[in-house]
Amino acid sequence: MNDGAQILLVEDSDDDAELTIRALRKEKVVNEIERVRDGEQALDYLFCRGAYGHRSFADPPRLVLLDLKMPKVDGLEVLASVKGDSRTRTIPVVIMTSSRELPDVQRAYELGANSYVQKPVKFEHFHEIVKQLGLYWVVVNHAPHAPAVTTQIVE
């Protein structure tokens, strides 16, 4: 039914990406995860261009997990583009980053981030946070113009 991913993970670090995907898969929150390595790819995906030219705006991801510190286009720039365009404005974007420097938090919320989460060092915490995020945004939250979710929840 939904050929796009339910979660778009924007993460330059392979290690973080693996940890995140593992957490999401392990808890069976969601299976369809698309991971991109930088801001440019993320924008291509979200705006259905370049390598993702076949995608459609009618089929947005239910959640974007966005790292801030990335090569080429950083997370805040991606956020600004997504929230500044009427076609993508409604996609929930959660900033997930190592930093919790105040200016970043402030800036992210100003640009319209839906949530700001610091990646904890401790794996259990990290695991828990990723799980909760997935559960909340993909399952609990009612997204605009998104298809119904059929993912099984195992708690």
Partner 1 sequence: MRIAANRSFSLAAGVFCVALGGLALAGWFTGAGWLVQVHERFQAVHYSVAACFLLLGLGLCAALHQLRIMALALASAAGAVALLCWVQVLLGADFGIDRVLTSPLPGREYPPAMSPLLAVTFMLAAISLALMILQSPVRSIAAAIFSAWSLLIGAMALIIFVLSAVVYSDPNTRMAVPVAAGLVMLGAGIAIRALQGSERSQRVEGSLRLRVAIGYALALLLLIGVALASQLAVQRLVASQSTVTRALRVRAEIAQLYSLLKDVQRGQRGFALTGEPEYLQPYHAGRRALLEQLPLLRGLFTNPEQLRRFQAIESLIERQLAQQEKKIQIRQAQGPAAAREQTLSREGERGMEEIQRQIMALQAAQDEVARQRIELSERAAFWTGLVNVGGILLAIAVVASGLVVLFRGLTARERAEEEVRQLNRVLTERSTALASLNLELAAAEEEARRQKQLFQSVSETASVGLVAADENGRMIFINEAAKKILGRGISESPAEEWSNDFQVWLPDGSAMVPPQDLPLVRAMRGEVVRDVPLLLRMPGRPEVQIVGTGIPLLTSEGTLGGGLVTFFDNTETLEHEAFLQQLIESAPDAMVIANESGVIVRTNAQATKLFGFEKSEMLGQPIEMLMPSRFHARHEGQRARYAGAPVARPMGVGLDLLGRRKDGSEFHVEISLAPIATRHGTLLSSAIRDVSERRRAQQALQTANQQLEQVNAELAAVNRELESFSYSVSHDLRAPLRHLMGFSQMLREDFGPSLPTEVHKYLSRIQDSAERMGNLIDGLLNLGRVGRRDLIRLPVDLRRITNEVREMLQSECAGRAVDWRIGQLPAVHSDPALTRQVLENLIGNAIKYTRGRSPAIIEIGFASGDGEEAIFVRDNGVGFDMKFSHKLFGVFQRLHSASEFEGTGIGLATVQRIVKKHGGRVWAESAPGAGATFYFTLGAATLPPLNEAAAIPVTQEVNQA
Which residue ranges make up the site for partner 1 (CB under 8 A)?
A: 13, 15-16, 19, 22, 68-69, 97-102, 119-124, 126-127
- Among residues 90 and 99, whose Cβ is nearest to partner 1? 99
Cβ neighbours for 62, distance < 8 A, ≥ 6 positions apart: 6, 7, 92, 137, 138, 143, 146, 149
3-state secondary structure of 119: coil
What's CA 53's distance to the chain center, in Å?
Answer: 19
The CB-of-87 to partner 1 minimum distance in angstroms stands at 31
The CB-of-38 to partner 1 minimum distance in angstroms stands at 15
Alpha helices in 5-154 (DSSP H): 14-26, 39-46, 75-83, 102-111, 123-134
Cβ neighbours for 59, distance < 8 A, ≥ 6 positions apart: 2, 3, 4
- Among residues 44 and 77, whose Cβ is nearest to partner 1? 77
- Among residues 36 and 91, whose Cβ is nearest to partner 1? 36
- Among residues 54 and 122, whose Cβ is nearest to partner 1? 122
The CB-of-143 to partner 1 minimum distance in angstroms stands at 28
Q: What is the DSSP string of 39-52?
A: HHHHHHHHTT-GGG
The CB-of-123 to partner 1 minimum distance in angstroms stands at 4
